[in-house]
């Protein structure tokens, strides 16, 4: 491990360490390391103590747009940090990943011969561009935009965000990527940023928050290698997104999936390594004050958030999807490269200095200085992921220490228990008999400990599986989310079945069957939105708390019976009818049953809403525990 440069962290917390990059090592020993780390974590029963933290952000910034409050991270003593609204209520967000915002800059997931995607926002004004089976994702539309919150949510309405609202979703993770924002070096595509803003507008009108996700899979637009190595490597599928072609530096290494696994592509590993070292690709500089790859990426982040910085309906930004370690050992990756990059990005977006002087423009990525501020946006949350290898064992590969003084941080792991964990990927075991991971709770238990150690809130930005996994894996995952009081966004909203043999055979591994809505298929005319896949809807359209006055103790929903129970406690009385301070429980359309409120709370109203859902409003009396049931 390289030498450590230790800086003081938040008051009372462990020091924040910044390590110098590790160069020139390609030692992907992650499989055995994953097992060792996971078994060690599974044997640990003591949670780390909660670190001290700076004062919470101002809970009363300027008035929010529409009915969506600014959300901040609250840091109570002795418990995990959590999402809170302007008056301090717990906020629970649940929703879906939305991928159909991709434009022509991102087409590697599309079938050969795909027509150009519609990428001009004016093409979506009151209409929905025709779908095409060659596209993995149908266009995302809201044909009744501007007509109010309760527009039609029928499958044939072409109102995506209305359909999400009717299912009880209140947040979308909007998947975009670097290539779309900065298709040519130093130039930010304002038309694409207009499209992002349009989607944010549509979500806001339906009462849905947006999390802007800077997404990458397998680094980005790396040229394929079409000659495989017999018995060792296969030609990559071409499914990659993230970095534009001008930001790919492979040094001539082949883009082959060694052992059939994309994680072992030499070209991808080298490309990531150049990125983490902030190497200069020799192209025109962007708005960020440096010529390196990280500098360009940070400039693209700032270009998008500059447009959205005054929007309370934008809950925040996720810095990078599933980062991979390049040619660096996993044990060194997070402290040496990943978290120093996150710290720099946070400094650029928020202006937080971490107790350091600002770096010189000629060398903005120093370990002992703060990245120059491109924005001073301190009202949005910043979501950050651990190394992607966590997906294989449900526990992170790093020492979890505070790395930034910014208060609005959210740890955002992915949970794919029995989908991408080693038992499924390597041993192809049945989830019902698999010995590891030991439970669906394991991923959330470890994530809870990791978030506590870093002093952050917790939110799972990806989980899911195919429709066939819904009543097994998805059911177990959702129940664990409730037990650990964690929100999340399922992968994904809708997709085309496409033109593949897997689609024709009905394979559960076909990408379209991971979505809420599946369109198209060989020889079929692809619809914009079909009826929701039934098993996924049953698991995901859940009765759930959305705003909680006081502290949540327990929440559980049974999809088989529609039964729901919720327990909380509060020592602060709320006046009946004061909905700016009351607790609200959402009951999605299609779930019947009598709502009962007992204990130290008074019923305000159960509101029947135009889409068939119900909003349950209640006011804690401040005398302690209260309960809500749907029976």
Q: What is the pLDDT of residues 136-178, one digit of tens each?
A: 888 999 999 999 999 999 988 999 999 999 999 999 999 999 9
Confidence of residue 260 (pLDDT cuts 50, 70, 90): confident
620 and 549 Cβ atoms separated by less than 8 Å: yes
Greater confidence (606 vs 524) lies with: 606
285 and 291 Cβ atoms separated by less than 8 Å: yes
The CA radius of gyration of the chain, in Å to the nearest whole number, is 23
Domain ranges of the chain: 4-52+94-129+144-490, 548-630
Task: Give pLDDT, residue 65.
Answer: 39
| The token pair that represents 448 in the structure block | 């809870």
Task: Give pLDDT, residue 5.
Answer: 29
Q: Per mean pLDDT, which range of 96-100, 425-429, 502-506 is the poorest?
A: 502-506
Q: Where are the alpha helices (DSSP H) in 432-569?
A: 441-454, 475-483, 501-505, 534-540
Mean pLDDT of 59-83: 78
- Beta partners for 174? 98, 212
d(CA 601, CA 621): 5
d(CA 334, CA 346): 16
Confidence of residue 512 (pLDDT cuts 50, 70, 90): low
Task: Give pLDDT, residue 28.
Answer: 38
| The token pair that represents 616 in the structure block | 């349950």
Mean pLDDT of 472-476: 96
Confidence of residue 232 (pLDDT cuts 50, 70, 90): confident
Backbone torsions φ then ψ of 2, nearest 5 degrees: -70, 165
Task: Give pLDDT, residue 33.
Answer: 45
User: Which stretches does DSSP call E strand in 297-393?
Assistant: 314-318, 381-384
What tens digit of pLDDT does each residue of 238-252 get? 678 999 999 999 999
* Whether residue 25 has pLDDT greater than 70: no
Confidence of residue 259 (pLDDT cuts 50, 70, 90): confident
236 and 267 Cβ atoms separated by less than 8 Å: no
54 and 309 Cβ atoms separated by less than 8 Å: no
Q: Per mean pLDDT, which range of 35-39, 64-68, 457-461, 522-526 is the poorest?
A: 35-39
404 and 344 Cβ atoms separated by less than 8 Å: no
115 torsion bin: left (phi>0), alpha (psi -120 to 50), beta (else): beta
CA 390 to chain centre: 14
Q: How large a percentage of the chain has pLDDT more than 90?
A: 69
Greater confidence (13 vs 492) lies with: 492
Q: Is the dihedral angle over the CA atoms 402, 404, 409, 413 positive or is it negative? A: negative
Q: What angle do CA 311, 517, 630 make, to 5 degrees?
A: 75
First to last CA, the chain: 56
DSSP 3-state of 142: strand
What tens digit of pLDDT does each residue of 388-435 get? 999 999 999 888 999 999 999 999 999 999 999 999 988 889 998 999
- State how far the alpha carbon of 341 is from the alpha carbons of 214, 277, 297, 384, 530, in Å: 14, 10, 10, 11, 41
Mean pLDDT of 445-461: 98
Q: Cβ–Cβ contacts within 10 Å for residue 2, how many?
A: 14
d(CA 585, CA 578): 15
Q: What is the pTM of this model?
A: 0.90
CA 78 to chain centre: 26
Task: Render the burial of 457-484: b for 16+ CB within 10 Å, e for the rest.
Answer: bbbbbbbbbbbbbbeebbbbbbbbbbeb
Q: Which helix (H) or strand (E) holds 84?
A: strand 82-84
Task: Give pLDDT, residue 502.
Answer: 66
Backbone torsions φ then ψ of 33, nearest 5 degrees: -65, -35
**Residue that is written with structure tokens 């910085």 in the block:** 309
DSSP 3-state of 224: coil
Task: Give pLDDT, residue 510.
Answer: 62
What tens digit of pLDDT does each residue of 325-341 get? 999 999 999 999 999 99
* Whether residue 221 has pLDDT greater than 70: yes
Confidence of residue 46 (pLDDT cuts 50, 70, 90): very low
Mean pLDDT of 92-111: 76
| The token pair that represents 179 in the structure block | 């290539």
* Whether residue 451 has pLDDT greater than 70: yes
Determine the topology of domain 4-52+94-129+144-490 in CATH: TIM Barrel (3.20.20)
DSSP 156: G
């Amino acid at each position: 491990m390289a030498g450590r440069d230790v800086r003081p962290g938040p008051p009372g917390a462990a020091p924040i360490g910044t390590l110098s990059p590790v160069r020139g090592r390609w030692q992907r020993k992650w499989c055995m390391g994953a097992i060792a780390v996971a078994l060690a974590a599974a044997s640990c029963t003591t949670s780390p103590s909660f670190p001290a933290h700076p004062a919470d952000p101002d809970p009363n910034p300027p008035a929010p747009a529409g009915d969506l409050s600014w959300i901040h991270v609250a840091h109570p003593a002795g418990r995990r940090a959590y999402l809170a609204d302007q008056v301090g209520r717990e906020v629970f967000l649940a929703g879906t990943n939305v991928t159909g915002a991709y434009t022509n800059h991102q087409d590697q997931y599309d079938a050969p011969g795909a027509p150009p995607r519609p990428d001009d926002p004016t093409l979506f004004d009151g209409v929905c561009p025709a779908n095409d089976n060659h596209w993995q994702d149908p266009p995302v539309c809201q044909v009744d935009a501007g007509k109010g919150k309760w527009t039609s949510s029928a499958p044939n309405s072409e109102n995506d965000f209305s359909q999400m609202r009717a299912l009880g979703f209140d947040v979308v993770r909007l998947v975009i990527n670097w290539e779309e924002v900065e298709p040519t070096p130093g130039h930010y595509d304002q038309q694409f940023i207009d499209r992002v803003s349009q989607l944010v507008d549509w979500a806001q009108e339906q009462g849905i928050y947006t999390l802007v996700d800077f997404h990458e899979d397998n680094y980005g637009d790396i040229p394929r290698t079409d000659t495989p190595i017999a018995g060792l490597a296969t030609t990559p599928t071409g499914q990659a997104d993230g970095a534009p072609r001008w930001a790919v530096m492979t040094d001539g290494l082949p883009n082959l999936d060694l052992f059939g696994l994309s994680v072992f592509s030499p070209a991808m590993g080298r490309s990531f390594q150049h990125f983490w070292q902030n190497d200069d690709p020799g192209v025109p500089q962007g708005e960020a004050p440096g010529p390196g790859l990280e500098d360009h990426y940070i400039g693209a982040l700032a270009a998008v958030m500059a447009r959205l910085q005054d929007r309370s309906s934008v809950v925040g930004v996720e810095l990078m999807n599933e980062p991979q370690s390049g040619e660096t050992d996993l044990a060194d990756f997070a402290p040496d490269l990943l978290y120093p990059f996150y710290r720099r990005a946070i400094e650029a977006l928020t202006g937080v200095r971490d107790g350091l002087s600002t770096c010189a423009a000629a060398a903005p990525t120093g370990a002992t200085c703060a990245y120059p501020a491109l924005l001073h946006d301190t009202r949005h949350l910043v979501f950050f992921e651990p190394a992607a290898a966590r997906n294989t064992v449900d526990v992170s590969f790093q020492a979890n220490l505070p790395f930034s003084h910014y208060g609005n941080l959210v740890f955002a792991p992915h949970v794919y228990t029995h989908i991408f964990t080693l038992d499924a990927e390597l041993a192809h075991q049945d989830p019902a008999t698999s010995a590891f991971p030991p439970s669906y709770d394991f991923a959330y238990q470890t994530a809870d400990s990791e978030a506590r150690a870093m002093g952050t809130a917790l939110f799972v930005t990806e989980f899911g599986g195919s429709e066939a996994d819904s009543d097994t894996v998805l059911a177990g995952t959702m129940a664990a989310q409730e037990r650990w009081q964690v929100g999340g966004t399922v992968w994904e909203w809708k997709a085309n079945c496409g033109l593949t043999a897997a689609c024709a055979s009905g394979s559960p591994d076909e990408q379209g069957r991971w979505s809420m809505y599946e369109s198209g298929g060989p020889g079929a005319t692809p619809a914009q939105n079909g009826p929701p896949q039934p098993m996924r809807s049953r698991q995901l359209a859940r009765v759930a708390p959305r705003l909680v006055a006081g502290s949540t103790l327990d929440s559980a929903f049974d999809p088989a019976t529609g039964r729901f129970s919720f327990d909380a406690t509060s020592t602060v009385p709320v006046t009946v009818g004061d909905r700016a301070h009351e607790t609200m429980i959402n009951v999605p359309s299609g779930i019947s049953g009598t709502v009962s409120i007992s204990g130290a709370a008074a019923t305000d109203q159960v509101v029947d809403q135009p889409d068939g859902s119900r909003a349950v409003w209640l006011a804690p009396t401040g005398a302690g525990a209260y309960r809500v049931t749907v029976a």
